[in-house]
Amino acid sequence: MLRHAISPARRFSQIPHEILRHRDLNADAVRLLCWQLSLPDGVNEALSKTAERAGIRKVAFLRAKGQLKLAGYVHEWREQGPGGRWATRQLVSNVPLSAAEAASLRSRPPVDSAPADTRPAAGEPTGRAVGRHPEKTPEGNTSTPPPPEAPEAHRLVDELTALDPRLRVPRAMVPELAGLAARWLEAGHLADAVQESIARCLPGRGSPIHRPGGLLRYILREVPPVAPPPPPLPAPRVTGLRECESGRHGQAYLFRPLADEDRCPTCHPASPTGPRSPAPAPSGPALARAALRKRL
C-alpha cells in the first residue's frame, strides 16, 4: 500500500481519528459531523441544512443524526422562546459528551459573544501557546496509560452474551465498556443489578441490535444512585400465639399462652371456671317466647 499525502497549508480542519475510525458511525454520520466541525466560528447552521449541502438525503440524515446522538457527538433540546415559538437548539462536539456535560455547555454563553463595550487587552499580541512543534523531543513514554480495569467489571462485560446473545461486542470495545462498568461497581451497584439495568434497556427479543457496543456505551454512561434498602417489615401481630388443641372450637382458635400450655384458658382443666360445655340448644317453648318478644 503506497500513500501520497501533502499537508494542506490552509483551509483544513483537524478531525480526531476516533471520529474517522468510529465503528458505530456510518459514512453519512462521519461526513455530517466533519462538515459541521469544519464550519467557521460564528456560523449558525442547523444539521439539516448541513446535510442538504453535503448531499445527504432525509432518511440517511435521520439515521446519521441518530447515530451521532447515540455516540454522544450531537445533543439537542426543544425550548420555547419569549414569543411562545418553539425551536430546536443543537450542540455538536468533536468528543463524546454525556447528557450532564452537554447541559453544562448549553448554559454557557457562545464563545464568540462578548459585551459591546469590551475593550481590547493592553499589550502586543503574542503567539499561540498550543499547536506548535516542541523545541525538544520529550524523553520517555508520554502516552496516556489506559485506566485500570477491575477484573469483576471485565467479567461482567464478558458475560453479557449469556444475558443476551445480541450483545456480542468487538474485542476492541471491551476495555472501554469494562471501564464504564467499573464506575457502576465503584458506586455500590452489584454485578447482577448492572445486568438487570442493561436488560431493561434492551429492545424486544425479536428486534435486532446492529451496534451492541454503542448501545452498551449509551446505557452505561450515566451511573444512577444506588437505591436505599427497603425498611424492615413490622413484626406480625400473631407472633407468640398458639392454636388451641382441645378440639372444642368450631374453627382454629388462637390464644397467647403464659407457659407451655396447649389449650386456651377456657378449655384448660386448671382454669378457674373449668372447661365450658357448649350451651344447650333452645327448646320449642323457648323459641316461641323469643318469637313473641320480637313481635312485641
Residue 188's region, left for phi above 0, alpha for psi from -120 to 50, else beta, is: left
Q: 227-253: per-residue pLDDT in tens?
A: 777 777 766 666 778 888 877 777 887
pLDDT score of 31: 92
Q: Which residue has the higher pLDDT, 29 or 1?
A: 29
> Can you give the pTM of this predicted structure?
0.38
Question: Which pLDDT belongs to residue 229?
Answer: 76
pLDDT category at 70 given cuts 50, 70, 90 is very high
- Residue pLDDT, tens place only, 105-153: 876 654 444 444 445 555 555 555 445 555 666 666 555 454 555 788 8
Rounded average pLDDT over 214-237: 80
Q: Taking residues 159-167, what's their average pLDDT?
A: 88
